[in-house]
Structure formats: C-alpha cells, structure tokens
Chain A
Amino acid sequence: MAIATMFVSLPFVVREVEPVLREIGTDQEQAASTLGANGWQTFWKITLPSIRWGVTYGVVLATARALGEFGAVSIVSSNVAGETETVPLFVARQYDLLGDHVAGAYAASIVLAILALMTLFSMNMIRRRDKVAETPTTIAVVPTFDKPTKEADG
C-alpha cells in the first residue's frame, strides 16, 4: 500500500525539484567547497535552502495525490479491510455494503474533502511565499544604506 502510494506520488517531488536544481547550477556548491564546506555542509546550507520551496511544493502535491489514490493501491495492495486500505478504498467498500455503512462512507468522504481543501490551501500559501522569496525586494528591505552605523552586527 505504502509502496504503491509512493510510486504514484513521489514523481511529483522530483518534477518540482529537478528544474530548480537545474536552474541554480553547481556554481554555489562549488563556491561553498572552495570556502571549506564538505559535502554535507554544502547540502544542508546551500543546496537544500535553495530548493526548499520546490521540495515543499512537491511534498504537498505528493500528499494530495497520496490522499486520493485509488487504482494503484487497490490493485497492488490486494485491498485487505482495515489493513492495506486507504481512505478512498474504505469509502468505496463502506458504500458498497449499503445500510448503516453508507453513513461511514460519507463521514470518511468528508474527512477526505477537508484534508484535500487543507492541502489546496497550504499549496496556495506556499506558492505565494515562493513568489515573495523570488523577489525579496518586496520584503526584507532593511533601509540601512543611509544609516551606516547599523551595519554588520554579527
């Protein structure tokens, strides 16, 4: 179940991160290495912060996909009730049982819908922050240029 979900959702992370990595190139990483940073330090301090919005966005997309995935999980995980079952599978199974179970199906659907809305919401927020981060002129402008005494305080 987990493997099937990863298989269909992880490509979203890759698809988001890859173009960002391509765009930033290796210059900054090389600069870090000339300044003495080893591979891990370069990754944590330079590479990861540069791609952080790509990664976050990819994770959100992957989450959305994982929440709603039906086909791949249903076929690969053999769909054992309560064990290898995701929420969409649960909804389908309950609905098929009819009677009181329909209420359960609706309840689970509502939970799913709320999760989906939250994902959508956080995705929009990240998008907005991402845009701001790309043009930091709109924020983070500390007008120190006319107050040279406030410079370089550590």
Chain B
Amino acid sequence: MSIVAENVTKHFGEFTALDDVSITVPDGSLTALLGPSGSGKSTLLRVIAGLEHADAGQVIVNDQDVTNQSVQERDIGFVFQHYAAFKHMTVRDNIAFGLRIRKTPRDQIRDKVKELMHLVQLQGMAHRYPSQLSGGQRQRMALARALAVEPKVLLLDEPFGALDARVRKELRAWLRRLHDEMHVTTIFVTHDQEEAMDVAEQIVVMNDGKIEQAGDPVDLYEQPKTEFVMSFIGEVNKLGDTFVRPHDLDVMLEPNGSTKEAMVERVVHLGFEVRVELALPDGEKLWAQLTRVEAESLELDNGSIVYVRPSRRKTFRDGRPHTEDIQALSQP
C-alpha cells in the first residue's frame, strides 16, 4: 500500500508545524522521517495516522483518499515512543486488543497472538504485565499489538527513542529483518541520522515544517541539496561557506601548494577511527577523521603542526549545491 501526503499544512496556534509538505512512500518500502525536534516529522506521521487532522492537504493510502476518515477507519498500525502499553492488561491481552475490538473468533485470536509472540520473541511472557517487561520487550509487544490487526501501513513514532543504545541497535536490525519478511509499508520517525541510514530504504529529511530532501541514504550523504542536509546527515566542518566532511580532509606533515597550516589540539582514539581536532592560525576549528593506521604513520601529538587540505568540498551558493573534487596532488 503506497502512502501519499499532498500539500499538508498544519498549525498549532501560531506555530506552523507543517508547511505545504508532500511525500510519497512507495508500496512495501521502509521510509524514515528524519529531522531535529520541532521539525514536524512526528506531526506528519500523526496526520497520516489520523491522530491529527491537517488544516489543508490530503492523505492518500493505496490510491484512496483517507483525509476525512477517522483513525479507527484507516487500518493503520501505530507504535508510540513510550510504548503506550495497556498497563492493566497482560502481554497476551495487549496483543489481542485490536482483534477483540474487531470481534474476531476466540480460536483465531489465540492462534494469531501465539504467532505474533513468536515473531516478536516474547514466547512464554503471555501472562506478564507490561511493568514486568524491559523497555525493549515492551516495545516489541507494542509492535506485535500493532501488527495483530494486519494493518495496511505501519507507522512508528521514534520507536527506539526511549531505549538504551545497545537495545536500540538490536531492535533496529530486528525491525529491518521483520520488514524484509512482512513487506508492510512502513514509515518511522527518528532524529537519529545513523538509525535512519541503518534501517531505511528512503529517507525524508525535514526541518522547520518543510521537507529538505528525500532520497536513499547514499544519495543524501553524497548529494545533499541544502546546507541543512549536508550538516544534518553525517559530520561536517564548516569553513566560511565551504563544507568539508572530516574524512575528506587530508592531513600531511609537509606543506604543499594548496595546504593550510593547522595545529593539532587533541587526538581522540575511538578504536578504528581517530579524530584529530585542529585549529587554523586564524582560530577556526575543524576536525579530521583518520584511520588508526593513518594517524599512527603521522605520529600526531597535541601541539604538533600539520598541513591540511580538503580532497572534496561543497558550497551552497545561491541555494544550489556545488561539489568540488580536488584530485590527488603530487606527493611532496
């Protein structure tokens, strides 16, 4: 089921949460809505779900205009950031809720719940209450509850936001596998660019109630259309109006025609990656991302003088992106 939102606008009082936003989510895809808090990504998801009503614009699911349908009629699965588990019900009753509302026969409910508990790896926890589950288990239960009614589309609002880093990574991989098995059209909201790149096939970057850019992860990283996307997806150094990725910064011990002198302020070892924090003579700060081997061969130390040069840089003059690749220069 494809999802289309067309020219959606939503105000909360004076605040414009969504400003003429249009997105298309292809059938069976996994799309991330990515943006900082207040960018309108959750609001857009809630408009698609029917939990909020747009001031203007349409929501079309599977070529059918659902703009005026209530949330109950839309047949969606929704997962909340803070689980929204029914605290007074056991895991089994939580998962069965949607089916009971639909007056599904008991034996069918039993089979479906069993199947879902297996799918979300909560076997044997049927009689526990949400308060007896960990965060990750609660969120898996919430996902099973949403999937029980076989929704047309699955909408996840920062589903892993309240979990710790390790569980978040596990669930990410698990969601990815689940999606590969089920092929339900899925939209999930996140403010974590790594999470979006890891899980999604398509990323829609939002800022200030508008869409900055939509595309696959590689596209967004390599061909950002705006300064915002450039700096929100991946790390970046900003030098005047030029943007340089830390891994596109060559660090050398000898000057060369096009290099600039810089002083090493700090060397941070992060395992495979080494961050070198640098200061230019005019006081501007930047950092370079080196591999451990590169860093070791340079024998960098706090206070040593190095010469840096971007191998690729981007500018966004007149609102248009411009990429400049500087070919490998003759070695000194």
Q: Is the CB of A140 within 8 A of B127?
A: yes
Interface size on A, residues (CB 8 A): 34
A32 CB within 8 Å of chain B: yes
Which chain A residues border B127 with CB–CB below 8 Å? 140, 142, 144
B171 to nearest A CB, angstroms?
18
Q: Is the CB of B124 within 8 A of A31?
A: no
A23 to nearest B CB, angstroms?
11
Q: Is the CB of A136 within 8 A of B132?
A: yes
A82 CB within 8 Å of chain B: no
Which chain B residues border A136 with CB–CB below 8 Å? 129, 131-132
CA distance A154 to B110 in the complex (A): 4
**Candidates A34, A41, A145, A146; contact of B77 at CB < 8 Å:** A34
CA distance A15 to B129 in the complex (A): 27
**For residue A32, which residue of chain B has the nearest CB?**
B97
Q: Is the CB of A33 within 8 A of B132?
A: no
Q: Is the CB of B124 within 8 A of A145?
A: yes
Which chain B residues border A133 with CB–CB below 8 Å? 88
A78 CB within 8 Å of chain B: no
Within A1-46, which residues are at the interface with B (CB < 8 Å)? 24, 27-28, 30-38, 41, 45-46
Which chain A residues border B287 with CB–CB below 8 Å? none
Which one of B79-87, B192-200, B238-246 contacts A?
A: B79-87
Q: Is the CB of A36 within 8 A of B101?
A: yes
B91-124 to A contact mask, C-beta < 8 Å, 1/0: 0100001100110001101100110010000011
A122-154 to B contact mask, C-beta < 8 Å, 1/0: 000000000001011100111011111011111
Q: Is the CB of B126 within 8 A of A50?
A: no
Q: Is the CB of A34 within 8 A of B78?
A: yes
A71 CB within 8 Å of chain B: no
B192 to nearest A CB, angstroms?
21
CA distance A32 to B78 in the complex (A): 10
Which chain A residues border B98 with CB–CB below 8 Å? 35-36
B330 CB within 8 Å of chain A: no
CA distance A142 to B124 in the complex (A): 9
Q: Is the CB of B86 within 8 A of A31?
A: yes
Which chain A residues border B75 with CB–CB below 8 Å? 36
B76 CB within 8 Å of chain A: yes
Q: A34-B51, A38-B72 are in contact. Are A135 and B124 (CB under 8 A)?
A: no
Q: Is the CB of A137 within 8 A of B131?
A: yes
A40 to nearest B CB, angstroms?
11
B125 CB within 8 Å of chain A: yes
Q: Is the CB of A148 within 8 A of B123?
A: yes
Q: Is the CB of B123 within 8 A of A151?
A: yes
B230 CB within 8 Å of chain A: no
**Candidates A37, A142, A150; contact of B128 at CB < 8 Å:** A142
Q: Is the CB of A144 within 8 A of B149?
A: no
Within A63-119, which residues are at the interface with B (CB < 8 Å)? none
Within B35-51, which residues are at the interface with A (CB < 8 Å)? 49, 51
**For residue A31, which residue of chain B has the nearest CB?**
B84
Which chain A residues border B97 with CB–CB below 8 Å? 32, 35, 37, 45
B145 CB within 8 Å of chain A: yes
Q: Is the CB of B145 within 8 A of A35?
A: yes
Which chain B residues border A34 with CB–CB below 8 Å? 49, 51, 71-72, 76-78, 146
23 contacts between A and B (CB under 8 A): A30-B84, A31-B145, A32-B86, A33-B71, A33-B72, A34-B49, A34-B71, A35-B145, A35-B146, A36-B75, A36-B98, A49-B88, A50-B88, A141-B128, A142-B128, A144-B124, A144-B127, A145-B124, A150-B124, A151-B117, A152-B110, A152-B113, A154-B109
Residues in A lying within 8 Å of B, measured CB to CB:
24, 27-28, 30-38, 41, 45-46, 49-50, 133, 135-137, 140-142, 144-148, 150-154
The 5 closest A-B pairs by CB, nearest first: A35-B98, A27-B84, A154-B110, A31-B84, A152-B114
